[in-house]
Amino acid sequence: MAEKNKTKIPYEKVDTQYYSQWYNKVIEEADLTDKRYPVKGMNIWKPYGWKLMQNIDSRTRKHMVNTDHEEVKFPLLIPEDEFQKEADHIKGFDDEVYWVTRAGRNELDIPLLLRPTSETAMYPVFDLWIRSHADLPLKIFQMVNVFRYETKQTRAFTRMREIHFFEAHTCHETGEEAEEQIKQDLEIMEKLSKKLCLPNLELKRTEWDKFPGAEYTVGVDSLLPTGRLLQIAGIHQYKTNFAEAYDIMFEDIEGEHKYVHQTTYGMSARLVGAIVGIHGDEKGVILPPAIAPIQVRIIPITYGDKQNDILEYCQKIKEKLESSDIRTDIDDREDVRPGSKFYDSERKGIPLRIDIGSNELEDKTLTLVRRDTSDKKEYQFDELIDKVKHEIKDMEQSLFENAEEFLQENIVDADEISEIDENKIYRIGWCGNRGCGEEIEETTDRHILGTLYDGEQYNGECIICGNEEAEAAYLCKKE
């Protein structure tokens, strides 16, 4: 394991305003997105940012296909009458939807809304797709843009009005199978988190914070340097709530007609926001190697007459790395000095840099520089693939473990409301009653993110009513 990075923005109570400025600055400098598009909360994915998102999507897609999900694409527009069938769902989204009321010169008879999520687009059709138990389980997913009329201050990747979205929807014969699906989703999430270097807490949300229409929601939360939790995924048990509203029934093996049990699993471009926020440092973003659009950048340090030989050597290194499927480029711009090239590579968060000058050319070596630690090492050309692979693996592990350590360090037990005054995650006792829950949230100006999905032993009392049957709840500010 590499030593902890020294130049990191301090992993402690980071001033929120400073964080915002820093976050916007490093995103702009890495050229991930352009927020100057003339509609608020709708940004342009620039090539580098879009490649990063596509790499994340490819990983997600692979996990979904491996677990027998099939990819589909449903239409964007949902008729008002279909949207209004599940009462809690509409209550949850009514204030957030965009309405298409006109087409060409015609007022539409039935207004169409832009999907804020696709339950109400998909479920009227599930009713047509599912006839008998032979059609189950139905496991599909899609990657689309969704729209939510966010009223708070918008922020690139984490709080947008047009959102790049992943959503999986499943239908099962029984509640137990649906529960198994949720466990499978959490396993996928765990594998993804490792590669994206996003340690997190899996928290069963409170009744008043669950997904509109869900029976329960598991929120997956990562901790930002500001001490706020950012939800990076949501996994929802719908039971038969939507099936009853959309009449999605199947004939079981005995010929009986029953409602299907449903689950969903959602993620979004927030994953990018979490990566930027959690791993970036004063020099810029740091991208986890598994999803970095460029994993290794080679920089020729060319002086005088050896320029061609050095470039040729760089090309040879590039070809060797690419033949091992390592995404590589050469910064061979002629009018830019090496110092500026180092700076660019850092700002773009490229995991590894290889510097090649006359010495390296002569000795058949290479100088390898880690983005996260700035560690510089010299290797023989013959060691290239082994060492690069090793550093990639080590960096991935190091990014994850540092963030995991930060997360764990910032979980603090509190027995009294008065102890809750820092930007940390407080583990408190809560009896589970909404009354006490709301009092906790109001007096601390924080949210109860929930209780651990896997459960845990807890011996404390409810921090409000003193009830000894309390569970451990996690209290924190939300990003």
Q: Determine if 258 is a binding residue for its own copies (CB under 8 A).
A: no
Distances (CA, A) of 445 to 230, 422, 441, 474, 476: 16, 11, 5, 13, 9
Q: Mask: binding to its own copies, 144-163, rule CB under 8 A, as x and -?
A: -x-x-x-x----------x-
- In angstroms and rounded to an integer, the radius of gyration of the C-alpha atoms of the chain is 25
* Contact call for residue 105 and its own copies (CB under 8 A): yes
Our finding on whether 140 is near its own copies (CB under 8 A) is yes
Nearer to its own copies, 68 or 282 (CB): 68
Cα torsion angle, 267, 271, 274, 278, sign: positive
Instruction: Dig out the tokens for 199 from the structure.
Output: 């340690």
In sequence order, what are the beta bridge partners of 237?
Answer: 216, 263
Query: Which among 14-22, 67-75, 201-209, 352-360 is the span making contact with its own copies, rule CB under 8 A?
Result: 67-75
CA atoms of 71 and 48, how far apart (whole Å) = 25
Rounded least distance, CB 164 to its own copies, Å: 8
Subset of 287-326 contacting its own copies (CB under 8 A) = none
Q: Is 58 in the site for its own copies (CB under 8 A)?
A: no
Residue 413 in 3-state DSSP? strand
Give the range of 140-148, 224-232, 298-306, 461-469 binding its own copies by CB under 8 A. 140-148
99 binds its own copies (CB under 8 A): yes
Residue 172's SS3 state is strand
| Interaction mask 363-402, its own copies, x per CB under 8 A | ----------------------------------------
Q: What is the DSSP letter of 414?
A: -
Give the torsion sign (CA, 338, 343, 350, 46).
negative
DSSP state string for 273-318: HHHHHHH-BTTB----TTT-S-SEEEEE---GGGHHHHHHHHHHHH
- Least Å distance, CB 152 to its own copies, is 13
Which listed residue (14, 112, 321, 350) binds its own copies by CB under 8 A? Answer: 112
Sign of CA dihedral 14, 16, 22, 27: positive
By CB under 8 A, residue 135 contacts its own copies: no
Out of 38, 255, 304, 339, point to the residue binding its own copies (CB under 8 A): 38
Of the candidates 284, 273, 286, 333, which has an alpha carbon nearest to the alpha carbon of residue 307?
A: 333
Cβ closest to its own copies, residue 139 vs residue 204: 139
Min dist CB 56 to its own copies, Å, is 14
Q: Is 44 among the residues that bind its own copies (CB under 8 A)?
A: yes
The reply on whether position 360 binds its own copies by CB under 8 A is no
**Residue for token digits 């996928």?**
188
Q: What are phi and psi of 119, to 5 degrees?
A: -50, -50
Residue number with CB closer to its own copies (73 or 364): 73
Q: Is 222 in a helix, a strand, or coil?
A: strand
The minimum distance between CB 71 and its own copies, in angstroms, equals: 6
State the residues that interact with its own copies by CB under 8 A: 34, 36-39, 42-47, 50-51, 54, 70-79, 82, 94-106, 111-112, 114, 121, 124-125, 128, 140, 145, 147, 149, 151, 162, 164
